[in-house]
Amino acid sequence: MASKGQKFNKYNDKLKKEILDLLNQGVSSNYISKKYNISRGTICTWMIKRRKQGNLDNDVFHKRGRPKEKDLTKEDYKERYEILKKYQAFLKAQREKK
């Protein structure tokens, strides 16, 4: 909540567009916040408004991190299975050494 007499910063549309384009290219909001000295909350608010307008790529913000289970393909499961088999063989060899 704003306190009495608080001044709010106003940013022009050109700067907002530049920042949102950087976000769309995959640059982190934390980096942008520090570079332009704008709070992350403000940047996220702009992002939400632009996303509601349909002008921002939603997938850019969900590509980071481990893939969701629903996004995995059959090949991904096969790869995981092979990794588990190799790990089990490694553990078995370690037990036999003792």
**Residue 92 identity:** K
**92 confidence band (pLDDT: 50, 70, 90):** very high
**6 confidence band (pLDDT: 50, 70, 90):** confident
pLDDT of residue 90 exceeding 90: yes
pTM (two decimals): 0.51
pLDDT of residue 21 exceeding 90: no
d(CA 17, CA 6): 26
Q: Which residue has the higher pLDDT, 71 or 20?
A: 20
- Torsion from C-alpha of 64, 66, 72, 76, nearest 10 degrees: 120
pLDDT of residue 62 exceeding 70: no
d(CA 55, CA 53): 6
